[in-house]
Amino acid sequence: MRPSRRRFASAPLTALTAAAVNAGRASAIVRRGANRCETGLDRLFGGERKPYRGMRAGLIANPASVDHSLVHAARGFTAGAGIQLCALFGPQHGFKSDQQDNMIESDHETDPRLGIPIYSLYGERRKPTRKMLEGLDVVFCDLFDIGARTYTFVWTMALAMEACAEAKVRFVVLDRPNPTGGIEVEGNVLEPELKSFIGLYPLPMRHGLTAGELATLLNEEYGIGAELDVIEVRGWRREMWHDQTKLPWVMPSPNMATLDTATVYPGAVLAEGTNLSEGRGTTRPFELVGAPFIDPQRLADRLHEPNLPGVRFRPTWFKPVFEKWKDRLCGGVQIHVLDRAVFRPYLTGLALLSAVRELYPKQFAWRQPPFEYEYKKMPIDILAGTAAIRKGIEQGTALSALTGSWQPGLDRFRGVRARYLRY
């Protein structure tokens, strides 16, 4: 029984009581550690690998594919796991996550330590070929997704599932928590005619699923037909954000630096479809948005008018060192999330684009194709998953009208999603 405060206050701090205090602190640390989430990778090498012993395996991963002790998945496979690692696969930005920007492809290579191929799944081909899968019994996928439709890792996963189904290779998702929680969904559902590598199946911008949940939904609802296993996260609840899991944050891609970045990304990513800098080439990508023609204070004042939930906009200047407006001084805003429970990133992103176009109609412009392997479709349309957003902003449509128009589709998605929730 834990001593009361009164007894601690009145008793002299002898060596015995000091030891008891220290023991209590140690026990508290153990208890806190016990509440740490375990990812699918942690569980695979913590005792869940028996069904896969003796198999020849491929691994889809990048530098964020680490366990709670920051040991990379590839090393775990080669440390007496009883599973023969035969091939590695890298998503967008590469297996080493060394390709800084979008549309910079990675080449195939050979791992110098393991002597096995590293196949690029972001380049000429984004779906594994039969030759890449030849001789494999199972492919493990351990990618740190951030819960946004335009983040391509889940589409690499989906294409790999399709390839494995065709080649009759087992597919295993090593699940991870959704870093921004698993409750909120937001945005319009992708329209089929705007399918692209940043949206292969009809999801809203924020789907509120883990990779394992999404893999199961895609496999069942769209007939992928993979022999799919999901090694679930243990200790995660849907309301938990990444900083509540006690798991380390390793950048899943070069411009996804922090949880703050992931929080604003589902809306700020829309700036990629315009001539605005989305902060690439700065230390705060997606939190900073601007262009040389913007007056920061004027934009911030305009953005505060609709009283968007949970956010403030700080007028600022920045100078990107690469990408759009490289080495040019940009005026703009930094997006500061004050209450992430009520913050709506997609709504905020729409408000930002609407405000800039309203204030600077002659200077603001939509980015032109090509973009993410699409050569005809407008980048903003494939980012938003609909042309209605672009047309609505051009016509000055109220944000409330835009959000109201997508509600029926979002409600239908919620109904489908509910069948696949694991946590």
Annotate 321-389 with DSSP letters as a single string.
SSSTTTT--EEEEEEEES-TTT--HHHHHHHHHHHHHHH-TTT--BPPSPBTTBSSS-HHHHHHTSSHH
Q: What's the pLDDT tens digit per position in 62-109?
A: 999 999 999 999 999 988 779 999 999 999 988 997 776 666 777 889
Residue 54's SS3 state is coil
> How sure is the predictor about 275, in pLDDT bands with cuts at 50, 70 and 90?
very high
**pLDDT computed for residue 101 by the predictor:** 66
Give the angle subtended at the CA of 125 by the CAs of 261 and 92, to the nearest 5°.
15
- Which residue type is seen at 187? G
**pLDDT computed for residue 79 by the predictor:** 84
Q: What's the pLDDT tens digit per position in 154-192?
A: 999 999 999 999 999 999 999 999 999 999 999 999 999
Domains detected in the chain: 40-244 (3.40.50.12170), 259-386 (3.90.1150.140)
Q: What is the mean pLDDT of residues 129-154?
A: 98
